[in-house]
Amino acid sequence: MQIHLVRPGDTLWRIAQMYSVNVSLLAESNEIPDPNRLVIGQTLVIPIWGSYHWVVPGETLYQISILYNVPLAELMRINGITDPGSLPAGMRIYIPQKLRQTTETAAYIDVQASGAASPEIVDRVGIYLTYLNVFSYAVNRDGSLTPITDEPVIQAAYRQRALPLMVLTNFENGTFSRELAATILSSEELQTTVLDNAVAIMQQKGYGGLDVDFEYLGAENREPYNEFMRKAAARLRPLNLLLSAALAPKLSADQPGTLYEGHDYRAHGEINDMVFLMTYEWGWSGGPPMAVSPIDQVRAVLEYALTEIPRSKIMMGIPLYGYDWTLPYVPGGQWARSISPQQAVELALRYNTNIEYDADSQAPFFNYIDEQGRYHIVWFEDARSIQAKFDLVKELGIRGFFYWVLGRDFPQNWLLIEDNFVVRKPV
């Protein structure tokens, strides 16, 4: 498939003609709300096998073969070219589909936030997933787990051959609780109760593994957390259940901060079957405007992680959302509004503004002025930013990638998975 950047004068019909695709298919594949209106800077994924290259003045077929890593003879054969050194400017060259790598993918679904729509969401995109992380069973201070209605979404996961993972959190009163985690991690009895309850639920409901998402632990809980994960591994391995952990995006072993200090990359790399690195939230609702998942920061986290964790266990995080900040940003002031990539494009269309792209962070953004005269900036994800992350996964050779969170996804993402990867299915 091919990513097309909408330019001034583009129409959906003209783009369809360029790539020889049906205009209705193009609109449907990209879920375009109004086919008669496109946003300059918007990206569309063209649903074709392979891609096209338009020759620029002075360009040779040999140069194009090097650019796309396709043998010259193959390009000549496919395109019926006899003189590769002389190509007319503007000629359309077909580039065959690249080889796809096998990878593992996962996505979190918040069943309380998605509610009754959760199974429908999983049925729609579960074909692209290896694992479905069902968020979440919150641990209580007595070791019990707060129940959730997860049977329908588990059944949907199996219908799509995705292995459901039970997510365990230290979530209390709407946030991750350091004190709750300390209460559990300081008591052998409570840890045993938590694991007894988790195993019972997994076996009863058909979960294929446990994903522990304990956050904001602080330094004092670092080693107790490691010990808890070792106990969990000892309980799950004989039952052929997977164990994973969601970890903060660290750049060094001793990185300061409550979010980072409790997560020991080396220990989790030894204990767990895989780790979910939460490589997002650099731009967050309470912070200054910036890309949610800038590629340079993501790369830095992964390169550090590779010094501590086997690459065969690393899952890179990708956000399926963006933020709309009201300017000027004031620390402690109004928080940014979370929006989906589809909503971001609709917002740019509504306020008739162009979408721009930051080359350093590999992320799209735009500015607009609302009806009250307030200035805004929006950072989100599009086909280009997703492709940049997929390229990084392939370059580093890690296990795969995952998403936070289903229900806010956008169609180009799933088209690009299909174009880049063969998703491994354990079910």
Catalytic site residue from 28, 31, 188, 215: 215
* Residues 105, 131 contacting (CB under 8 angstroms): yes
Task: Tell me which residue of 210, 175, 181 sits closest to 196, measured CA to CA.
Answer: 210
Q: Which residue has the tokens 């390169």?
A: 303
Rounded Cα distance, 130 and 163, in Å? 6
Is 215 known to be catalytic? yes
* Residues 272, 233 contacting (CB under 8 angstroms): yes
Rounded Cα distance, 149 and 249, in Å? 30
By three-state DSSP, how is residue 162 classified? Answer: coil
Q: ω into residue 244 within 30 of 0, thus cis?
A: no
Q: Based on DSSP, count helices (H) and strands (E) in the chain, helices before strands.
A: 16, 20
Rounded Cα distance, 147 and 133, in Å? 15
| Alpha helices (runs of H) in 44-164, residue ranges in sequence order | 61-68, 72-79, 111-114, 118-125, 151-159
Both tokens of residue 102?
Answer: 């096998």
Task: Tell me which residue of 396, 385, 414 sits closest to 294, measured CA to CA.
Answer: 385
Catalytic residues: 215
